[in-house]
Amino acid sequence: MNYLKIKILIVLVFLLFHSNAQSENIDLVNKISKNIRCLICQGQSVYDSQSDFAISMKIAIKKKIQEGYTENQIYDYLIGQYGEWISYNPGFNKNTIFLWLLPILTFIVGGWLIFKKTKFFKL
Amino acid sequence: MFFSQLGYYSLIFGLIFSFLLIFVSYKDLKIINHSINSKIISFVFFQLFFVFLSFICLIISFINSDFSNVTVYNNSHTTKPLFYKISGSWGNHEGSLLLCLLVLTLFIFIFLITSKKEPKKFRIITLLFQQIIIIGFFLFLLITSNPFSYLFPIPKEGLGLNPILQDPILAIHPPILYLGYIGSSIIFSSSLAAITQNYVNNKWAKNLKSWTVISWFFLTIGIMLGSIWAYYELGWGGFWFWDPVENISLMPWLCLIALIHSVIVLEKRSQLASWTLILCISSFTLSMSGTFLVRSGILNSVHTFANDPKRGIFILIFLFILILISIFIFFIFYKPITKDQKNFLYSRETSILINNWFMMYFLSVILIGTVYPIFLEVIADEKISVGPPFYNKLLIPFLIPFLILMAIGPNIKWIQDDIKLFNLRLIFLFLISVLISYFVLIIIGLNGLFTTFLIGVALYLLVTTISDFFIKKKINLSQKISHFGFSLLILSIILNGIFSSEISTNIKVGEKYKFKHGIIYFEEVKNFKKQNYISVVTTFRIKEDNKKEIFLKPELRIFNQPENITSEADIKINFFSDKFLVVNLVKGNEYYNIKYQTKPFMIWIWLSTIILASGGLINFFQRKLNEK
């Protein structure tokens, strides 16, 4: 009797975890596919597209998650396969230094100009 | 046939009037009196008339399905409903340019008849600069994109309009957007004219402000319509994709916001003249660059429907000419009216400068994010994509200080304010907002310092604007409404982002699918034959825990001309949350792929945008009333 209870409990716990893991998987697939470009579409993400490419891509991402890849590992894997073009999240490397720094520089220069044009005390 | 010919010759007549106008205006410039030659106004009217006639001819060709016209052949079909035949006339490259030209000529006509109080020379020179732009568009149309090209032998049937463009909102989206884009042409021309006439002063600023707010109003509504369309037609429940073409519309929009604010300083305090001029020139240049990037096909985007390198080069040359002219005039003719002096830290002037500072930062993020990949590909032959993660990382953190300053700014007086007045009310409201945000997030079971602050400051702007509204004796109604709309917009976007949820599965008729909070039943599929497509209507019954049962009927439309399937989502719009269901065919079997989404505060995004824009409209009419 006790043994059966424990067995049921184990199954229940397993089911609970399993279903949880399942829904987390789907959320993660959605999250990743939003950041991946559908290569055969005009400016759509894999998430937004229903093309064959996008569908097979979603399956591939799901498979990688089941194999135990982390989110970042999946991005790295896809970039390795298809090149930087596939990722909507440009990394920080020698090609993208100015992409990240120019806006920040604009902000700093703007702030400096305003600082120069401001009086801080009553004169 | 006849209408194509008529339309084409009307265009040529319109172009001839441009040259006549330049000639007459030049002669009239030498005559010193107060009113401009009546010939000029009638010529501008005739030009408008001919462009209008040409536009009507194009529409008639579309209605008649006159396939001897290449544009009609490429974009229409006999079975298309009348409404889309008409809207199809501007749903393509050639027609949309003709519409741009129509708006250009319309606006300069409106400018001339509404600017009678302005100096004569200023009006004429504005007209001249506008004519340069108009000639550019005429030549672009006639040389590279003639909407009335002849096709022989005459085909029996056209190729049809892209089905996703056959939509009521998309029919009015381009015209409204163009009113915004092209409105900035008047800002551009009048700023160059003001420079040459040494007329960059508060009087000019007053007139300029009306054009700025009205252009911004149309641009806001135009962008919003595009976004609504994307929500139910294009995307799977998304409303903004950071697509390059969306970004391009956002750039002049941000520039116009900066201009709306800086022009107040020019009007009230006769300061920031040169900066305001730079913004005037940039807002139109950004609109034009947008046209270049979209039409040349350089960008990879959902919007690139017609691309041809010849067109790209033409626009590029035209753009360079415009920029060169403006730089030349700015540096040769511009004499600052007053020396810009330093402002006090606690002054309205500085707070407006800070607004401009953030606007320019947001603009630079979007500009660099959009064009950087193009340059990188040319220079280093590396292809990268810049998408939502980039914009989120660079924009959202800056929203926090921006929203705080936006709440405080309108409370600071001109010239100099006492630090003492930096008052308890504002600090109290800030603490309250952050606390509310903190507790609300705890109740929902979310935490995170960043989210707490983000929602907190958006709330802060909201409550401060409302409290200003009731406390202050003299309120600036349009400003309050727009700031209120903006805070609501940011709040709705954040909450929508946090609380959206979705379920996606494959299912066939008669099956049900259980998910965490309920069950979806796939009830039935029905086919209907429509005028130019077959409509597949699916019915789903959805029962969620503790909620009423709802029925959703998403649809698939199978078009023949051109062959295409579009998917029409069914959306149950609710005050607090939209239920969004969309189906797609799964190839090769009877299963349908469905995606069921819960989108909280969706309608608030649209409503708050309308509130935001209406502030501009109110400001426009208030100014018109005050003039009288």
Yes or no: say if B614 and B229 are a contact pair by the CB < 8 Å rule.
no
Cβ distance of A118 and B344 shorter than 8 Å:
yes
pLDDT band at B22 (very low <50, low <70, confident <90, very high): very high
- Name the more confident of A8 and B254: B254
Contacts B343 to A, Cβ<8 Å:
117-119
Please give the pLDDT value at position A122: 57
The amino acid present at B41, given as its one-letter code, is: I
Q: What share of chain B in percent tops pLDDT 90?
A: 56
Q: What share of chain B in percent tops pLDDT 70?
A: 95
Please give the pLDDT value at position B617: 95
Contacts A30 to B, Cβ<8 Å:
502, 504
Rounded average pLDDT over B337-346: 74
Comparing B124-138, B179-193, B283-297, B411-425, the range with the smallest average pLDDT is B411-425
Q: How far is CA A28 from CA A20, A25, B491, in A?
A: 12, 5, 25
Residue B382 pLDDT exceeds 70: yes
Q: In a mutagenesis test of the A interface, which of B162, B248, B372 is the best target, namely the one with the most A β-carbons within 10 Å?
A: B372
Q: In a mutagenesis test of the A interface, which of B278, B350, B361, B399 is the best target, namely the one with the most A β-carbons within 10 Å?
A: B361
Residue B136 pLDDT exceeds 90: yes
Q: Considering Cα of A57, then A63, then A66, then A68, what sign does the dihedral take?
A: negative
Q: What is the DSSP string of B29-97?
A: HTS-SSSPPHHHHHHHHHHHHHHHHHHHHHHHHHHTT-TTBHHHHHH--TTS-HHHHHHHTTSSHHHHH
Which residue of chain A has the CA closest to B244?
A: A43
Q: Which of A42-46, B21-25, B143-147, B579-583 has the highest mean pLDDT?
A: B21-25
Query: Which residues are within 8 A (CB) of A9 and not within 5 positions of it... i.e. 6 or more apart?
Result: none
- Name the more confident of B560 and B118: B118
Please give the pLDDT value at position A11: 56
What residue ranges do the domains of chain B occupy? 1-162, 167-402, 501-603
Name B513's bridge partners: B520
Cβ distance of A99 and B235 shorter than 8 Å:
no
Residue A58 pLDDT exceeds 60: yes
Yes or no: say if B551 and B566 are a contact pair by the CB < 8 Å rule.
no
Rounded average pLDDT over A84-105: 92
Residue B308 pLDDT exceeds 70: no
pLDDT band at B297 (very low <50, low <70, confident <90, very high): low
Q: What is the DSSP string of B502-566?
A: EEEEEE-TT-EEEETTEEEEEEEEEEEE-SSEEEEEEEEEEEETTS--EEE--EEEEETTTTEEE
Residue B317 pLDDT exceeds 50: yes
Name B528's bridge partners: B535
Q: For residues A109 and B254, what is the distance between their CA atoms, to the nearest angstrom?
A: 18
Residue A16 pLDDT exceeds 80: no
pLDDT band at B309 (very low <50, low <70, confident <90, very high): low
Which residue of chain A has the CA closest to B514?
A: A19
Angle at which helix B273-295 crosses helix B348-380, to 10 degrees, equals 30
Rounded average pLDDT over B37-54: 95
Q: For residues B237 and B41, what is the distance between their CA atoms, to the nearest angstrom?
A: 49
Rounded average pLDDT over B493-512: 88
- Taking only residues 40 to 99 of chain A, the set having a beta carbon closer than 8 angstroms to any beta carbon of chain B reads 42-45, 47-48, 50, 52, 83-90, 95-96, 98-99
pLDDT band at B57 (very low <50, low <70, confident <90, very high): very high
Please give the pLDDT value at position B195: 95
At residue B109, the 3 state secondary structure works out as helix
Closest by Cβ to B383, choosing from A34, A85, A96: A85
pLDDT band at B616 (very low <50, low <70, confident <90, very high): very high
Compute how many other C-beta atoms are within 10 angstroms of the C-beta atom of residue B547.
11
Q: Which of A12-26, B41-55, B266-280, B574-588 has the highest mean pLDDT?
A: B41-55
Please give the pLDDT value at position B302: 52
Stated as kind and residue range, the H or E segment containing B599 is strand B592-600
- Name the more confident of A10 and B344: B344
Cβ distance of B398 and A120 shorter than 8 Å:
no
Stated as kind and residue range, the H or E segment containing B100 is helix B93-114
Yes or no: say if B140 and B314 are a contact pair by the CB < 8 Å rule.
yes
Compute how many other C-beta atoms are within 10 angstroms of the C-beta atom of residue B307.
14
Q: For residues B397 and B392, what is the distance between their CA atoms, to the nearest angstrom?
A: 8
Contacts B387 to A, Cβ<8 Å:
35, 37, 45, 87-89
pTM of the model: 0.91
ipTM of the complex: 0.88
Q: Strands B533-544, B555-559: parallel, antiparallel or unpaired by DSSP?
A: antiparallel
Residue B91 pLDDT exceeds 60: yes
Residue B298 pLDDT exceeds 50: yes
For tokens 């506008």, what's the residue? Answer: B130
Cβ distance of B394 and A89 shorter than 8 Å:
no
At residue B343, the 3 state secondary structure works out as strand
Rounded average pLDDT over B176-200: 94
pLDDT in tens, B420-449: 555 788 889 999 999 999 998 888 877 788
Please give the pLDDT value at position B299: 65
Contacts B300 to A, Cβ<8 Å:
42-43
**pLDDT mean across residues, chain A:** 81
- Taking only residues 103 to 122 of chain A, the set having a beta carbon closer than 8 angstroms to any beta carbon of chain B reads 103-104, 106-107, 110-111, 114, 117-120, 122
Cα distance from B87 to chain A (closest Cα, Å)? 23
Please give the pLDDT value at position B515: 87
pLDDT band at B35 (very low <50, low <70, confident <90, very high): confident
pLDDT band at A26 (very low <50, low <70, confident <90, very high): confident
- Name the more confident of B605 and B296: B605
Residue B290 pLDDT exceeds 70: yes
Residue A24 pLDDT exceeds 70: no
Cα distance from B569 to chain A (closest Cα, Å)? 13
Residue B562, preceding peptide bond in cis (omega within 30° of 0)? yes
pLDDT band at A20 (very low <50, low <70, confident <90, very high): very low
Residue B416 pLDDT exceeds 90: no
Yes or no: say if B617 and B176 are a contact pair by the CB < 8 Å rule.
no
pLDDT in tens, B561-575: 777 788 888 999 988
Q: For residues A32 and B31, what is the distance between their CA atoms, to the nearest angstrom?
A: 68
Comparing B139-153, B292-306, B402-416, the range with the smallest average pLDDT is B292-306
Comparing B413-427, B473-487, B528-542, the range with the smallest average pLDDT is B413-427
For domain A2-89, give the CATH number.
1.10.8.640
Rounded average pLDDT over B183-192: 95
The amino acid present at B203, given as its one-letter code, is: K
Comparing B108-112, B122-126, B576-580, the range with the smallest average pLDDT is B576-580
Closest by Cβ to B389, choosing from A47, A89, A102: A89
Please give the pLDDT value at position A8: 61
Rounded average pLDDT over A21-45: 79
Yes or no: say if B516 and A23 are a contact pair by the CB < 8 Å rule.
yes
Considering only CA atoms, which of B464, B451, B457 is closest in space to residue B434? B457
Rounded average pLDDT over B536-556: 90
Please give the pLDDT value at position A23: 56
Cα distance from B440 to chain A (closest Cα, Å)? 24
- Name the more confident of B55 and B588: B55
Query: Which residues are within 8 A (CB) of B579 and not within 5 positions of it... i.e. 6 or more apart?
Result: B542, B550, B552, B571, B572, B596, B597, B598, B599
Please give the pLDDT value at position B269: 87
Rounded to 5°, angle at Cα B582 from B581 and B587:
145
